Amino acid sequence: MRLGLHIALLLAVLVVELVGLGFFVKGFFPYKRSIPGFASVQDQPESVVSGSQQELSAPQYDRLVVMLVDALRNDFVFGNNSAMAYTQGLLREGRAIGYTAKALAPTVTMPRIKALMTGTVPNFLDAVLNIAESDTSSSLKFQDNLLWQLKNKGKTINMFGDDTWLRLFPDLFSRTDGTSSFFVTDTVEVDNNVTRNVRPELERDGWDVTIFHYLGLDHIGHLAGPNSPLMRPKQKEMDQVVQDILEIVAEQDTKRMGADSSAKPTLFVLLGDHAMNEIGNHGGNSHLETSTVFVFMGQGIRGQPIADKGKNALSALLTNVVPQINLVPTLALLFGVPVPKNNLGLPLPELINGYTDKERMRLLQIAAHQIYGVVQANDPDVSSIDVSKEAAGDVMPDCDSEHDPVSMVLRCEYIRALTAHRRFAKAKYGSAAETAAAAAVAEGEYYSFMGHANAHLSRTFSGYDLNAMTIGIALFCVSTMLLVALYQASSCGIANFKTKRITISVPAIALLVTYVISLNSSSLIEEEHQFWYHWVQTMFFLRMLTSRHSSGFVRTFFQMCLFRIARAWNQTGQNWPGEIDIRYYLNSSYNRLMWFMVLATFALFGVCASWIHRSAASAESMRRSKSGTPSIHAGRGRYRRRLAYGQRIFRGVLSTALANALVYQMERNGGWQVVGFSKPAWSVVRWFTPSELADIARFVYLLTFAALLLGTGCAWLRRRSGSSDDAVLVTAALEGLVGLLPLLTLLARPHNVPVFAIFAAMFALFFPQLLPRAGFGRSGSVAAQTIEPSPAEAYSNGWRLSALRPSKALVLLCIIHASFFVLGNSNSLASLDLSNAYAGVSRYNEGLVGVLLFTANWAGPLWWAAAGFATLALSAAADASTGAKTGCMQRLLGLVVAAHLWQAATILMLSVVVTLMRTHLFIWSVFSPRYLYQIAWFAGFYLAAITAGGTGWLAALLATK
C-alpha cells in the first residue's frame, strides 16, 4: 500500500473513532434525570392532622453562616492530632453537634457543592467541568436548590471565597469576593482574601446568609500532603476564624433578639466539601477522601456534653457518619423553606429535636413526600398511583421486598409511614407514653422509607442514552476492524498468507487477551498497576530466556532489577496507597538524601548531551576510517564547523534548562535549605535565574522548545556534513529524548526526579552501543545491532523459543503504561497531581493548564514514548532497499497503527463493559473514572503525543535529508 494512502486511511479511521467516542460520551455522561421547576408551598402534602397544605412549622433560625473549608477531613477536626482546639472545646461542652459527613465520588469541589445545595448525586462529568473555570453548562440557575429557596423567601445571600459558587449560582448573591480555586501553590493569600471579609461583612446590617469558602488547607494537601508542617498552622488559622464568626454572630443575636422578640438566632455550620487521601489528593472514593465534617453551632444547638477530657474524647464522631446530602433537607426545614425537588437527603434527627412531636412529624411528612416525588418521577409504575387514599386507614401494609419491584416496595413503605403518622395523630388523645411511642414508630417508619429510597435512587439517579452508547460502540467496532486491516497491510502485519504463518508474537496475543479480561473486574481496574508491573517483568524474563548472547541476558537482568526498584518508588492503587514506599522515606527520614539524588540526576542529564555528541563524533570518525573517506571533504568543512557550533549551543541551552528546572524544584520545595545552602549562597545562585518562580518555569518551557528546534537544525547540518543516516537519526532522536527532560523534571514531584534516571538506565540497557565506552559504531552499524527478526523469521531460522520472544516495541508498550503508575498515578481521580499544573501560569488559562496537567501526570509515558521513537531511529537505516526515509516512515506508520489498534481494542472493550455495568455499585467510583482516563490516553497520549507530536517530530528529522 502506498504511503500517502496509508496515512489518509489512518486519519479517516481515527475520525471514525473520535465520532464514536463523542456518541458514547454523550450517552454515558448525560445530564441528570431531574424534576424540572422549583418547589413551592403549594407542593407540600396535606397535613395528616389538619388536612391543610399550608401548615408549616415556624423556622428555628433567621440567619445562616456557612464556613466551608475545602478538603476538611474529619480527623482534622475530631482527631487526636487536630489543632482546632476551640472547635473541639465546643463539641466537648455540648455547644456544637458534630458529624462525619460522607461525600460521594467524584470528590472534587463542583459536584460536592452541587450535592450540598441540591441534595442530589451530581453528574460524574462535573469532575471534568470542575477544572474549566469558564464553564457555565453546569450552572444551577434553572435547577431547584437550597440557596434559590432561601433567596425566594427574601433572604439576602453573600459569598466570599472559591468562585465556583459564582459559576453555579449566577445572579443569586448580593455581595461577593471570589478567589480562583486552582492556584494550588498559594496557601496564604487565598485565605487572607476571605478572612478580610469576615468581620466587616458579618458586622454589616442587612445580610441573612453568608458563605465563606476557604481553599488554603486543600492547597497544602495538594502541595505536601496532610502531614505537611503547614497543616497544623492552617488548622489553627481556621479554628480562629470559627471562634471569630461565632463570637460575632452571638453578640449580634443577643442584640437582635433583645430588640425584637420575634427574631430568631443565627445557625453557623462548619463543613468540608470533600476530604483528602494520605498524599493530599482527592477525587476518588476511598475512605479518607470521602470523610469530611459537619459541625453545627449557635444558639439553640444542644449537643451531648462529653465528660471525657482526654485526647480520644471526640473519637466517636469519626464514626458518627451521615450522608453529606442530608444537609439540604435539614436546613430547608430549619429555615421554613420548601425542600428542593430533587433532594435525596434525610433530615438530621438531632437538629429537628427542638420541635414538638406534632411539628416533627409534619416536617418528616414534608421530607418524605418530597423524596417520594423523586421516586414517582423516576418510575412510571408508581407515578400515577395516589397513595393518600391507600394510607387513609389504620392498617399498616406488609411490604414484600423479596418479590416486588423496588419502586413498589418504596411505595408500600411510604404508605406505612403515613399510616403510622395517622395513628400518632389519634394517639395524642391517649396518655403521654402512648403518644411518645406512636411518635417513635412514625418517625422510624419515615426514616426507614427515606433511607431505602435514598439508597435506591442514589444508584439509579442517572439517565443513559443507550441509543447513543450503542452507536458509539458500533463505530468503535468499525474503527477496530479497519485498524486490523491497516495493520495487516503495513510492514508489520498479523499474518503472512503466503507462508501461512502468524507474524504477531505469542506474548502480544497473551497481553491483549489478559488485558481485555482485566477490564471486566472493578478490583483489577483499581489495581491496574499490578497488571502492568507483572507484564513488564514477564516481558523482560522472556527476553532473557530467549537471549542469544550472554551479554543480552545480563543486560535484561539488570533491567528487571532497575524496574523492581522503580515500582517500589510509589505505592498506588486503592488497596495499599498508604503503605510504606521509597517516596515515604525520601520525604521523611532521608529527605537530605533525596535532594542529593535530585542533584545527581540533573548532573547526569547534563552530561548526557555531551556524551551523545562525543560518541557520535567517535562513531563517524571510525566509519570514515574504515571506509577510507577523507576526514575533511571539500565543501563540507563549513557544515561541520557549523554543526560543532550548533551542538555547543544545544548543550548550553540544555544545561541552562536543566539548571533552571533544578533551581525551580529547590526553591519551590525548600530543597536548598535541606541540602545546606546558606541564604547568601542561595541568593547568589538565584541571581543567575529569573526572580519569580513562574518566570523560571516559563524560561524552562522556552529553553525546552529551543533545544528541540536546535536538535532538528543539527540533524540538517549532520546530513550536509556527510554523516551517515545512522548517525543523523540516532543522534537527533537521542537529543530529543534528552531535550524533554528539563520539562518533565520541572513538572515532577521532587521525589520522582530520580526515577527518570532509572528510566534512562533501563533504556540504555536495550542497546549495548548506548552504554559507556561502547559508542555508536564500536560493534558496527547501529541498525545491525538493533534489528530483531520477526516471529516467523525467527521460527524459520530455528531460534529457540522464538515464538515467546517479545519485541522491543511490545516491551516498550508495557513500560509506557507501567511508568504511568510508577510515578504514583492510578485510575482514581484522586491521584491527579494538580500541584504542578500551574507552573509558570500567572493567569488561569484552561488550555494551558490542561496541557500542563496532562504533561505532569503522563510524564513517564511521554518520556518512554520518546524513547520508542529513539528505538525506531536506532533501527531505521536497516531497510536499505527502499531508502532510509521511506523505510523509516513505513516502520513508523506500522507502529502507530499498532498503537492505535491496541487502544481501539481497549476503548471498545471498556465501552462494552461500562454499558453492561451501568447499574453496578461501582459504576461511578471505579468504571467511570477509568473511562475518563481512557479518553485521556486516547486523545492526549495516543492521538496528540504519539500520532501528531511524535510522528511530526520524526518526519521533520527525515525531511532534513
What pLDDT is recorded for position 811? Answer: 93
Decide if 603 is inside a domain: yes
Nearest-angstrom CA–CA distance, 118 and 295: 19
Give the containing element (helix H, strand E) for 159: strand 157-162
Residue 903 maps to a domain: no
The pLDDT assigned to 887 comes to 57
The CATH number assigned to the domain holding 286 equals 3.40.720.10
Distance CA 197, CA 212 (A): 9
CA 851 to chain centre: 14
Side chain identity, residue 869:
F
Domain boundary (846, 862, 878) is at: 878
319 lies in a domain? yes
The answer to whether residue 927 sits within a structural domain is no
Distance CA 924, CA 906 (A): 19
CA angle 251, 252, 253 (to 5 degrees): 95
| 548 part of a folded domain | yes
Residues of the chain with pLDDT under 50: 133-137, 775-787, 790-800, 877-886
Domain total in the chain: 2
Its pTM stands at 0.75
Distance (Å) of CA 30 to CA 209, 464, 537, 814 = 32, 6, 41, 33
pLDDT of residue 782: 39
User: Residue 335 has what pLDDT?
Assistant: 94
User: What are residue 157's DSSP bridge partners?
Assistant: 209
**For cell 537471549, what's the residue?**
547
Phi, psi of 884 (to 5 degrees): -60, -40
Distance CA 163, CA 180 (A): 6
CB distance 266 to 253 below 8 Å: yes
Residue 804 lies in a domain: yes
Confirm if 99 and 320 have CB atoms less than 8 A apart: yes
- Peptide linkage before 305 cis (omega within 30 of 0): no
Residue 461 lies in a domain: no
Distance between CA atoms of 859 and 661, rounded to whole angstroms?
Answer: 15
Question: Are 157 and 209 contacting, i.e. CB atoms less than 8 angstroms apart?
Answer: yes
pLDDT for 921 equals 65
Let me know the angle formed at the C-alpha of 881 by 875 and 882, rounded to the nearest 5 degrees: 85
Q: What's the CA gap between 37 and 653, in Å, rounded?
A: 61
pLDDT recorded at residue 870: 81
Buried b / exposed e over 404-432, threshold 16 CB at 10 Å, is: eebbbbbbbbbbbbbbbbbbbbebeeeee
Domain of residue 244, residue span:
67-353
> How far, in Å, CA of 780 to CA of 766, rounded?
16
The residue among 300, 330, 353 that closes a domain is 353
614-651: b (≥16 Cβ within 10 Å) or e: ebbbebbeebbeeeeeeeeeeeeeebbebbeebbeebb
pLDDT of the residue at 22: 92
- All three cell numbers of 796, joined, read 524459520
Structural domain contains residue 475: no
Task: Compute the distance between CA of residue 917 and CA of residue 63 in angstroms, rounded to an integer.
Answer: 45
Dihedral angle sign, alpha carbons of residues 540, 544, 548, 552: positive
d(CA 706, CA 654): 9
- C-alpha span between 787 and 879 (Å, rounded): 10
Q: Where does a domain end: 308, 328, 353?
A: 353
CA distance 64 to 326: 16
**DSSP string across 528-588:** HHHHHHHHHHHHHHHHHHT-SSHHHHHHHHHHHHHHHHHHTSS--TTTSTTS--HHHHHTT
274, 280 contact by CB (below 8 A):
no
C-alpha cell at 518: 482485566
Residues pairing with 214 in the sheet: 69
